[in-house]
Chains A and B, each alone.
Chain A
Amino acid sequence: MDTKDLKNKVNPKFFKKHQESLYQALEDKHTTVEVLDSEDPLNTKMVLNMGPQHPATHGVLRLVLQLNGELIEKAKLDIGYLHRGVEKIAENKTYQEFMPYTDRMDYLSPYSNNVAFCTAVEKIANVEVPERAHYIRMIGCELARISSHLLWLGTMVQDAGAVSFFLWTFREREKIYDIFDNIGGHRFTISHSRIGGVANDLTSDAIAMIKDFVDNFPKELEDYHNLLDRNRIFFDRNEGVGVLKTEDALDYGATGPTLRGAGYAYDIRDFAPYCRYDEVEFEIPTRLEGDNLARYYVRMEEMQESIRILRQCLDKLPKGPVRADNAKQAYPSKDEVYYSMEGMIHDFMMTDTGICPPEGSESYHAIEAPKGELGFFIQSNGTGHPWRLGIRSPSFANLQVLENILDGEMVADTVIMIGGVDPVMGDSDK
């Protein structure tokens, strides 16, 4: 296929230069290993565009595949269809004002993103968080992890063909939404974490609901295992598909369950514990095969470990305040704001200027989001607005892995592989 042929194939109606450079890059990929044969009488080679709007691409992901019959010879991913410039917005907002934007990044587990941002700011500004807030954050993070993995399970199995799974996992997710509704007032993008702690305490109602969920969920998980673990069709669709070899995993930059399914037990909760994860016991599920089935097992076991962590957190939940008392670093409680002058002034100053980390300081803090390592890099210039907020998003890294492992697979497995890698476009296209 020469360039003249390419210009005839691509007839862009908008963003001409973009489409042409994308198709040119597809052609240039792997040119050294490609056998240049110009004879193609049956026209088996074609360039397929799985466009940004597609039922199974988990958001707006675009894949351009060069096919030889049913086999994918090379693939290129085009992301950026959900890019907003969150890093640019962060430079114009105070740290607390930025909290809702973090919710909308990995929108399947917003609580984890909140905690990631709060812990990063607390690290650079040196804020002490009370014990109870740590445990409440852990409870929220683990519930968000279960919620994210349930959605992954529902959509991946639906893409594989078993449509009713979607309904069952969503029924469970509604229970988690009810818990979040009780804690923070919103179903999922709650922004419950505040810098210095959490916004409000858990009511006894909420704790009862969480206990109820923790008692009933393992039974549901067992039901899902019974359905899928011995299912011939599920095995055939997932075994040996999208293999990420162990020696390539770190090189390609995989993170989260994708990396743990390929053999490396790299989990930030274990590597650099935050939020009292060093005081609860849990295991890190790892598999060696690196195919989609391994990623499935890793995520199912992670849900079980999350239930285990939740049980321990509920037992160990200490009494005490839920936010730091320092007025320069955390919002005062509403009682103080309404009934004392200093409280009102501090509330005003926190909203207007916000917390000011020392000038010239920079720091990086990562947490283990359900998708992988989510990290915030903050550079401060002494004011309440960050100078630079860099976000290390796990889905970006995992999508790069997807681009590298798609070559050589069947086109029907594309959907399963995207589901197995589990990207969230709001996270990768910040």
Chain B
Amino acid sequence: MELELSETLQPVIDGLSENYPDKVIEVYQSSGDTFVRIEVDANIEICKYLKEEHHFIYLADILGADRFTSEERFEVIYNLVSLRDRQRLFVKVWLEEENPEVESLTSLWTSANWLERQTHDMFGVNFVNHPDLRRIYMPEDFEYYPLRKEFPLLGIPGSIELPSSTPDTE
């Protein structure tokens, strides 16, 4: 596969392939951005390696996505930025549908706290060892995960309560 990596990104990819050859599943580029797909259990060690060795000290975003395939349905995408080398790298993991679990990155970056809560709220991904895994947008009483493809756009009637249109008498 032809990868046109910039000179600062090439040593990062080389370092990853040397140190973690069996954990890096594929490296590809799309529209100028570089994506690295890794094994689910290796996400903390690879992110730690990227943070310490290659100076990716800023975690810009954690996104979830629903591939809607029968195997490995969900993916979690980490958006890492290196200020020293002025580059961005995306690290992906693919999770299965039955029990989507991945290790939490709050030990590396405190900003992962709310970002993982957002992914949990929208997709139902469970982040192991997260200090405070609650829903962030929808109230806790809500039982569904809105951004999954099978959740209808208009919502499920009765899933969330509306106040009464008569005043509270107490």
Contacts and interface: CB of A to CB of B under 8 A. Distances in A.
On whether A and B touch (CB less than 8 Å), the answer reads yes
Interface of A: 13-18, 21-22, 25, 28-29, 79-80, 83, 85, 87-89, 92, 123-124, 126, 248, 250-253, 264, 266, 271-272, 360-364, 366, 373, 375, 377, 379, 387-388, 390, 392, 396-397, 399-400, 403-404, 429
Contact of A377 (B77, B113, B146): B77
Contacts of A123: 31-32
Contacts of A388: 63, 65-66
A359 to B, nearest CB: 11
Contacts of A87: 122, 147
B52 to A, nearest CB: 14
A250 B111 CA distance: 8
A85 B132 contact: no
A88 B161 CA distance: 20
B31 A252 contact: no
Interface of B: 30-33, 35, 57-61, 63, 65-66, 77, 79, 83, 86, 88, 90, 109-111, 113-115, 118, 122, 132, 134-141, 146-147, 151, 153, 161, 163, 168
A88 B110 contact: no
B138 A80 contact: yes
Contacts of A399: 114
B109 A251 contact: yes
Nearest to A253: B111
A83 B61 contact: no
Contacts of B30: 360-363
A74 to B, nearest CB: 12
Contacts of B138: 80, 83
Q: Is chain B's binding surface mostly helix, strand, loop or mixed?
A: loop
Contacts of A25: 132, 134
B61 A377 contact: yes
A128 B61 CA distance: 28
A396 B114 contact: yes
Contact of B83 (A15, A248, A266): A266
13 contacts: A25-B132, A80-B137, A83-B138, A88-B151, A250-B58, A266-B83, A364-B79, A379-B65, A388-B65, A392-B61, A396-B114, A400-B113, A429-B137
Given A373-B60, A375-B61, A15 B111 contact: no
Nearest to B160: A15
Given A251-B109, A363-B31, A400 B61 contact: no
A400 B139 CA distance: 18
Contacts of B153: 85, 88-89, 92
Contact of B114 (A22, A375, A400): A400
A421 to B, nearest CB: 14
B136 to A, nearest CB: 6
A248 B140 CA distance: 30
Nearest to A378: B31
Given A18-B141, A83-B137, A361 B60 contact: no
A400 B106 CA distance: 13
Nearest to A82: B137
A19 to B, nearest CB: 8
Nearest to A123: B31
A103 B151 CA distance: 25
Contact of B147 (A88, A272, A373): A88
A15 to B, nearest CB: 4
A6 to B, nearest CB: 15
A377 B161 contact: no
B134 A253 contact: no
Nearest to B113: A400
Given A253-B111, A404-B110, 6 more contacts: A25-B134, A251-B111, A271-B86, A363-B31, A377-B63, A390-B63
B112 to A, nearest CB: 8
B140 A18 contact: yes
Contacts of A392: 60-61, 63, 79
B28 to A, nearest CB: 10
B140 to A, nearest CB: 4
A397 B111 CA distance: 7
Residue of A17, A250, A252, A364 with most chain B CB atoms under a 10 A cut-off? A364
A413 to B, nearest CB: 22
